[in-house]
Amino acid sequence: MPLIKSWVESANAADHPFPLNNLPYGVFSTADTDPRCGVAIGDMILDMQAAEESGLITLADVALFEMPFWNDLMEEGPAVWAALRDRLTALLSDGAADRDRVEPLLVPIDQATLHLPFMVSEYTDFYAGRNHAFNVGTMFRGPENALPPNWLHIPIGYNGRASSVVVSGTGIRRPWGQLKSPDHDLPAFLPCRRFDLELEMGAIVGVASDGPITVKEADDAIFGYVLLNDWSARDIQAWEYQPLGPFQAKATATSISPWIVTKPALEPFRADTPAREFELLDHLRDCGPMLYDIDLTVTLAPEGKPASTIARTNYKEMYYSSAQQLAHHTTSGCPMNVGDLLGSGTISGPTKSERGSLLELSWGGKEPLQLDTGDERSFLLDGDTLTLSGHAQGDGYRIGFGDCSGKVLPALEEPYAR
């Protein structure tokens, strides 16, 4: 599919993340407005509340954009999602008849503050990247036992905290936790010493379910995608994870990018999952290309210094797709809600430069990473800013997500001081 030209000229630049082919959904505010839904087009945001109030957008019997989140639209289902995309394309296409009515409703992105784009109902994080799982397993169990016996048959996951999800730009406070030193028998309560990132994609559930659904139904139920950083306290995790898996090590924060890239924008970039050693059971079997060709980059900027690129990889490296993760989530009859967020798991490629966490890049701290600034990193230091970015490359255009950034803030000096 080629570029769809817009009368918003900045949207027609080949390297701009928000062409008319994209139309990502976010929530923004300005000095003069409260938070409200908006659609990015080039270097502008279309004010959806104002567009609805003016009569330019009429999709349902009720107002869908009175509240500063996209959940109300999700609740209307895929037919209304498609109708909105068609209407936005008509309003913003080159030669649109309503340009004079739409233009006053555009706000420059550089004058806007971005907020969480949807209300997160519940959050589940998966461990579904084979290269990451093999690397981590090799560190702790050796290559012959790197993957547990179930890993090649089901997407492994855990239930996280929806309250921990924050929008890009939010500072991330280094957590305290109970740590076990290899030199002592008893644990101590200390600030995390091995704080890490995890490069992930997040899928947003747009259709509720109250029983098992197929992979095809799950794929149809996904509203869109965001970049996701699953901040991880490796030393807290090492002490707590047996026998029930991650808990406080993953509860500090989960950062997401501010724009929801909807599934239709990504359709031209479908990609197959990797070859499998074992055929998946019928309820998880692929029903076509299940992943997307999305280039991903991670940069790290020490306090007051320029950023260094520390990893480049691609979402198509995943072993399980978000649709397969969602389908698996429902097999027990677990209800899924509009606004549920599914983290893909760390996305790592087969080479060292493609590893999506410092745990892998520094091989557990044994091989410190060299930054362009001359600094070394095994794990994150206070003042470090991590930025995830990603895009799918089309014919003369790209589909971008907006950056997913967070700066590591020092731990509280006295967490229980009152």
The set of catalytic residues is: 132
292 residue type, one letter: Y
Given a contact cutoff of 8 angstroms between Cβ atoms, the answer to whether 343 and 202 are in contact is: yes
- 3-state secondary structure (DSSP) of residue 45: strand
| Cβ burial, residue 333 (10 Å; 0-12/13-18/19+) | exposed
Q: End-to-end CA distance of the chain: give it in Å, rounded.
A: 59
- Which one, of 8, 96, 101, 86, lies nearest residue 54 by Cα? 101
Run of H or E including 218 = helix 215-221
Copy the structure tokens of residue 225. Answer: 């995608």
State how far the alpha carbon of 175 is from the alpha carbons of 28, 220, 237, in Å. Answer: 29, 37, 12
- 3-state secondary structure (DSSP) of residue 323: helix
Whether the upstream peptide bond of residue 35 has omega within 30° of 0, thus cis, is no
Given a contact cutoff of 8 angstroms between Cβ atoms, the answer to whether 305 and 90 are in contact is: no
Distance CA 195, CA 190 (A): 12
DSSP 274: P
Secondary structure (DSSP) of 96-131: -TTHHHHGGGEEEGGG-EEE-SS----EEEE---HH
State how far the alpha carbon of 40 is from the alpha carbons of 37, 106, 116, 358, 399, in Å. Answer: 10, 9, 14, 32, 11
Q: How many CA within 13 A on the CB side of residue 115?
A: 17
**Alpha helical stretches, state H, 228-321:** 234-240, 263-266
C-alpha of 172 from chain center: 16
